[in-house]
Every structure is written in structure tokens, then in C-alpha cells.
Structure 1
Amino acid sequence: MLNSTLYILNSGFGDMLKQINIFFHLSDVYSFNPKVFIRQNNKRNTLKSHIFFDEIGFSSIIGPRPQTCVEEAASLSEISAEITEAYKFDASSYNNPGLEELVGGRDREIHPKLRALATQSNLCAEIVKRRDTTNRIALHVRRGDVAQINGDDFPSVFDIPAVAGRILHCRGLFHKETLCDELSYGNRRRFADTSTHLDTLNRLKEREGVDSHVLVSDGFTKISRQLVGMHPKLLLDSTLSVEALEAALVNELRPLMVGASQTVIGESNSTFYDTIFTALACRVVISQSAGFLMELSKLFELDIEFVTPELRPVLDPLSVDPD
């Protein structure tokens, strides 16, 4: 059987798992032995990729760097019966109808080989051991590099004349009216505001008949570093530390902390694992960007319902039939 290695595109862990999964499904179609190569300089994730994949039992599928460099490797979207030594997962490989047709929708399920490795991993054993249906609902609030901060909401932190009517983001300062035109859809779709999360949380609590939940979030480390490092003039105190700004911005999540039996907020190796253990112990996970949580749930065969935050439409009281 021919060997072929996939260059993983630097991205979040959930996305990387999807890349590997589709490559393994394609290996069934074209009968090759799949390996993946992960470059060392992945600055996207706090935890090093090799450590993460070792934790989930994937060390045996990580191969050495192929002789074909990534620039010369064929795009995965161009895969054919003539298998090459190395492929790369690039922008053209996302949502590619040709790839979807080849695997016949099987990529929506975890490849059996990957599931077999993952369910025997130490991380899976630890998660299963910690599962506790007492905490039925986990609220996962993605902020990080998609955080949208209303400058007007923090008059004690920002110079209001400088940020009035603006949205603060890792990629710059945006007018509220033009945000949708200036910020990519891929980034915007991963963000949901606090009120939307709260509305969905309250509905799920009513449905499940519970009063408490757990809250997990990557917090405001990335945007705090960006603002302090690149835009100190927007701050009332230009000497404000990253840690102090981060602590101030957490106030955006205060409404979601009411009723929370546990909160895990921040980006570090320890909070990464705490987020996994806390969220995957629950029966329901509310998340606008479930990413790695959903992929791990499928890998480890956990029975978890994922719910996307969604505001209910506001009804016009004059249009409601009183009867």
C-alpha cells in the first residue's frame, strides 16, 4: 500500500482534527496509508500541537516531514487515483464539493481508525472518569481572536471619544455600521454576544429543569495583548498592563456567571484542559464555535448535545392574537 502524508494547515485544534479526518476517509477511497505532518511553528494554539495529538492517542499517525516540501505538495482538493507522497490542506480544500462527493458524506463521522486510537487514549479515560451528569449544561463562550468589544461599555478603561460607536477587535477598530463589510464572515460567525448566549442558556435551563450551569471561555488574552501592544492611545491609562485589561474585559461575561457552579476563563495549558474536562462532563454544550469540543466529543463517543446560541425573534405585541 502506498504511503501519503498530509501537511496540516495551521489552525485551531478542532479544525486540524477535521483535516485529519477527511484525509483518512480519502485513504479508504484511494487505498493509501495515511500519515500526517504537523509543523512545529503553530502559533495558533497555546498548547503545542504535538502534545495535544499525543494526548488523544494520535502519535502513531504522526509521520516525519515528507521529502516533498509543502510548497510543492499537491492540494488535497486535487487528490486523484495517482497518489503522491505528500498533500497539503489549503483554502481550496475547505467545503470542496469534489471532496465531499468522493467520501460520500462519511467525513461527517469520525474515521473508525481515528476513533479506535482516541478511545484508547489517556485523555479519553480521564474525561470518561470525570463525566458527571450533575452539571447538565456547559456554556462555552468563544472570545479569543474573535472577541468584539463595545468600546462604549467600558468608560473606565477606554478613551470614550476615541472609541465611541466602535467595536474593538484583534484585527482593529471597526465602526458598528460597517463591521459586517470589513470583518470576514469566517471570523464573525464564531462570535455571539452575551445577550444571545444568555437567552439560549435560560431556554435550555427551562427545558432541562435545572438552575445551574458551568461557564468556560478562552477569555480576553489575545485582544488585551493587541490593544496594549498596538493601540495604547485608546486606553485611559496607556501604562495599563495586559493582565489588568484582561481582568476588566471579563466584565462582559458577568451576566453569564450568574447561576454558574463553576467558571473556567482564560488561555493557558491548564485552562485548556480544565475547559475540556468541565465542558465534556456535561450533557449539553451551548457554543457558537464548538470546534475542538465537538470533535473530541465525537472522537471519544460521548453522548453530548451541542446547541448553537440563537436569539428568539422579538414579537410585535400588536400582532399576537390574545386568544
Structure 2
Amino acid sequence: MAESNDITIRNARGYIGAFGSRIDKLANETSVAAGITIVPTSPYHITLITKDELRQLTTDLSDKIDTLYENGTKIDTKNIFSLGLGGDPKGVCWVVIIWNAGNIFRKKYGLSTKQFHITLSNTDDHSTDKSLYSLRETFLTENLDLNTLDHLVLSYNLSDQYDQVFIYAREMCNRFPDSEKSWLRLADIARRNDQYKLAMLAYARTIQLLNGQGNEKVQEYCSKKIFSCASIYTEWGCLFGENELDQIPEELKRYLLTPWSQVIRQRFVNIYSDEQPQFNQNPREHLIMPFTDPRGRHQNLGKYL
């Protein structure tokens, strides 16, 4: 049985769950803060696969179930985050948990994403929403550090809630503008939402922030996505067509509406050596090249071309 960060993944009374001292610590800290004195009769845990799900998987994957158990013990447990207390402290209550590695594992075996939680009460209600919407206190992203906010973005992405992904990716960029993670998350969701100009500029900022830090794999990924945007959907750089400027969130314009650095330009010097662009600009359409006022007094200055 593999152990990681004081957490073990094991089969317990017909379900698979995560157990260990760190799970106990998350549960106890939340219980003490909420004044909950009842200690559940069963150990604190996070259910990874329920009894019913495991029973169905055993039927469907009879020749692979041993592999499922083995792979389950290898799931990453380092990035398990508590968002706080959900439910009623005098009744059914729980700790709201983000655990993306757990949901990636579930999806691998055809299971839906799960609202992970640690049950604090002796009773449970399996039909109750246990997401962050069940939190007792107002959820404030300003209380989250970069890593937790990043995993929140990824959790919504895994559950296909793309509107929320976009909201929290913007929040990441606004609060942590010097983190390449922030802009990469924003770029990916913008591209998925067909906001190709926003995606292009966010990928470019990711490359700029990574310059000199290595991670060539991520830079190459961003370069390919920028090329895709420019070849098919939009003009290069800060040259905007009709309505494209509306894609750029107001609070992020000062980071995105800036000339590209020489590092980024150099990456695309020979970009069309093997492939020609498919994007055709309507010659009657006016283009605008906005720029930001370095004094910060006017954010939408620009000129039409």
C-alpha cells in the first residue's frame, strides 16, 4: 500500500477512500473552528469511489479491477485543499475539499467528477450539494493563495463549468500578474471560448514571464497556440479587429496591451516558412492598435489603421 504525505488510499468496507493524519488534521481544524464536538464513529476520510460505483466497476471491469486498486494507491495526494465548513454544524456537515488528482483518476475509469468532502457528522446525506456553494461562510477568493486558486480553476475545468473557469482565471491574473500559471489558465479558457485575441495575448505574456526560467515545453506549447490563433482567427499581436477589444477584461488591459518583447518576436521570425496563414482580413474593416497610458490615466487609447 503506497503512502504519500501521510495519506493512504485504500479499500475500506467496500469503498475506496483517502485516510491519514493530514485528513484528520483538516477535519479537526474545521471542527474546532465551528465548535463541533461530536467525533464520527468511522475514521475521517475522503471517499474516492463509493460502494455503488465500485460494485458497478467490478462488474464492468472484472479483468481490470486489480489494476484499478493498484493505480488508486499511486494517486497524488499532495494537492488536497480545504475550502471550509459546509452544511449544518448541528446536523449533517462536512469539509469542502478540492482534489483534482482524485477526479482525474475517476474520469479515467468513466466516473463523473465528485464533490470531494470529509464528513464531520455521524450521519450523511449523499443527495446534498457538497461543492463550494455549500460553504457556511461567504466564499472569498482573496483568501486563497496562488496554488489553491489554480487548483480551483482546474477543478471547474474538470467538471466542464467553463464560465467559472473564466471568472477564476481572470482573478488569478489580477491577483498574481507575475505568475505564468495565471496567464496560461486564462489563455486556455479564452481559446476554448473562441476569444482568440485574448488567448493570443495571454499566451504571449506566459512566454514573456517564462523567459530565462527554462520550461521550454510550456513555451513551445504557447507558441503553437499563438500560431494557431494568428493563422486562422485573428491578426498578430495588439492589432484588433471589430469587437475584439471587448474580449480583453478591463482590469487586465495594462498587462496585455503592450508591445511584444524581442524574445516573443524572435520565436515567430520564420513562422510561415512551412505553412501559410489561412486567416483573411476584410479590407474594409477598420483595425485598431490600442495602447496603455504609462501614467495609468487612460487605458483605452489607440488609433485606427
Shorter-chain TM-score category? under 0.3
Q: Name the TM-score, length of structure 2 as normaliser.
A: 0.26
Normalising by structure 1, what TM-score?
A: 0.25
Q: Which has the larger radius of gyration?
A: 2
Q: Which has the higher contact order (CA 8 A, sep 6+)?
A: 1
